[in-house]
Amino acid sequence: MEEIHMTDYELPPLPYDYDALEPSISEQVLNWHHDTHHQGYVNGWNSAEETLEEAREEGDFSDSAGAIRNVTHNGSGHVLHTLFWESMSPNGGDEPAGALAARIQEDFGSYEAWKGEFEAAASAAGGWALLVYDTHSNQLRNLVVDKHDQGALWGAQPILALDVWEHSYYYDYGPARGDFIDAFFDVVDWETPADRYEEAVARFE
């Protein structure tokens, strides 16, 4: 059989030290969450891609449907976790500025209205609260996403991500998810989300 070539996905390093977000998120949680949990999605995505490549080479697709589901689950987990790390920094806690701030004002009425809606999404989600740019209606939206892909909107470009799976906060906050959501806003950093928004608008508007 010919050698199979596939893309190897890799875990990106955290963009800050493991203790940099304390007390909002502890060093222990960042170690577990990034090095073990996020790494698991990277491994799962690579494994699923390998299964699909082998099936194509051998012409045996009996395991392909499950592998396709694993690509969706693990790939989405990898992408969203990467966005989550990039949505925070030890210098965060600010509000958006520039074009993104103006667009939030336009689409939600005010930053406070956006934040209230985003917090409601985070309180209800079984996975993620996302701020996305909806390329179909040309506007920003908040999404309630369960797991990694249930409730996602086709064509939407994620701008800001907040992980509200229990593994992201239970060690630090117990069942008080609302306290974790508040703490997220103490470290949220809008620089990378603002760049992501401007790239999405340039591509799709």
pLDDT of residue 19: 98
Domain 27-86: homologous superfamily in CATH: Fe,Mn superoxide dismutase (SOD) domain (1.10.287.990)
With beta carbons less than 8 A apart as the criterion, state whether 144 and 125 touch: yes
With beta carbons less than 8 A apart as the criterion, state whether 172 and 180 touch: yes
Residue in 204, 200, 205, 203 with CA at minimum distance from that of residue 131? 200
With beta carbons less than 8 A apart as the criterion, state whether 162 and 184 touch: yes
Q: Which residue has the higher pLDDT, 2 or 131?
A: 131
Tell me the C-alpha distance between 130 and 142, whole Å. 6
pLDDT of residue 56: 96
What digits encode the pLDDT tens for the residues 52-61? Answer: 999 999 999 9
Residue at 81: amino acid letter: H
What digits encode the pLDDT tens for the residues 115-145? Answer: 999 999 999 999 999 999 999 999 999 999 9
Q: Which CATH number fits domain 98-204: 3.55.40.20, 3.20.20.80, 3.40.50.300, 3.40.1380.20?
A: 3.55.40.20
pLDDT of residue 4: 44
Distances 203 to 78, 79, 98, 124, 143 between C-alpha atoms, Å: 23, 19, 18, 31, 21
What digits encode the pLDDT tens for the residues 145-156? Answer: 998 888 888 989
Enter the pTM of the model: 0.92
Average pLDDT, the chain: 94
Query: Annotation-wise, does 33 bind a ligand?
Result: yes
Which residues, in sequence order, are CB contacts of 133 under 8 Å at separation 6+?
Answer: 139, 140, 141, 156, 157, 159, 197, 200, 201, 204
Report the pLDDT averaged over residues 3-12: 72
In the chain, where the domains are located: 27-86, 98-204
Q: Do domains 27-86 and 98-204 have the same CATH topology?
A: no
Query: Annotation-wise, does 195 bind a ligand?
Result: no
Query: Annotation-wise, does 73 bind a ligand?
Result: no
Sheet holding 156-163, edge to edge: 139-146, 127-134, 156-163
Query: Annotation-wise, does 167 bind a ligand?
Result: yes
Q: Which element (helix H / strand E) includes 109?
A: none
pLDDT of residue 151: 86
